[in-house]
Amino acid sequence: MTATTDSPKEIITYHYHFVFAGGREKTFAIHLDAQTLDLLPPEHNALPPWTALSHHQCPNCPLRLPDHPHCPIAVNLTGVIDAFRDATSYQKVHLFIHTQSRSYQKDTSLQEGLSALLGIYMVSSGCPILDRLRPMLRAHIPFSTPAETTYRFLSMYMLAQYFLYRRGKKPDLELKELKTLFHNVRVVNKHFWQRFASMHIKDASLNALVVLDNLAQYASFSLDLDMLSETELLFRAYFTD
């Protein structure tokens, strides 16, 4: 009898390479399961106290002890937070981002580059709230503007509604639940800011979270202020008989 082996898992990898003034460099390789977009983290040994689920746990978090003694996002961010704990937001960096299909580079502030990196970890680590944003990783676009990010939020959400429709469920075509989603995302961002602040680190990671939260806030305001009419004009070819 011939032994069978599992086929190797297809992996998506994002390389983030930070180059600081003076030549100091930091590199992160983020590996995701190509089918599920689950983060494939390295083994973690002793975890610091700030990763405990109960440490500034988000009030909308459905995870409960003892099944989840540690926050899944916090666990996977330990390496990033340690790497930048003494870094300040407005340090200038040249950031290279490499994927299998393309590369990006930009002279920017550390907070902007770090926000893109944090975003990957936060939506791929298994948080039940942020899991809903995970499909956006299929087309990860760093350095996107608030308007571009809002367009991607809406596109992802409406595709989710189509899949619900295909499964016989009622789609949210009025985007009512999208506002709830944005609210829940912002609650997570707020309490992660508090989690980071409790470690008395410098402000690079803290302000990177603020950048992420500003994107969610902009998208939410776009719905509240009915700012979609400008985007609607782009689809005028669909409105003709």
Cis preceding-peptide flag for 66 (omega within 30 of 0): yes
pLDDT band at 45 (very low <50, low <70, confident <90, very high): confident
pLDDT value of residue 9? 79
> Each residue of 62-87: pLDDT tens digit?
999 989 999 999 999 999 999 999 99
Percentage of residues in the chain having pLDDT higher than 90: 79
Kindly report the average pLDDT of the chain as a whole number: 92
> Each residue of 166-212: pLDDT tens digit?
999 999 999 999 999 999 999 999 999 999 999 999 999 999 999 99
Tally the residues of the chain. Answer: 241
Where do we find the tokens 């991607």?
A: 152
pLDDT value of residue 226? 72
What's the pTM?
A: 0.90
pLDDT value of residue 228? 81
Q: Phi then psi for 106, rounded to 5 degrees?
A: -160, 140
Domain ranges of the chain: 66-84+92-236
Which one-letter DSSP state was computed for residue 39? B
The alpha helices in the chain, defined as continuous H runs, are 72-83, 110-124, 146-166, 176-197, 204-224, 229-232
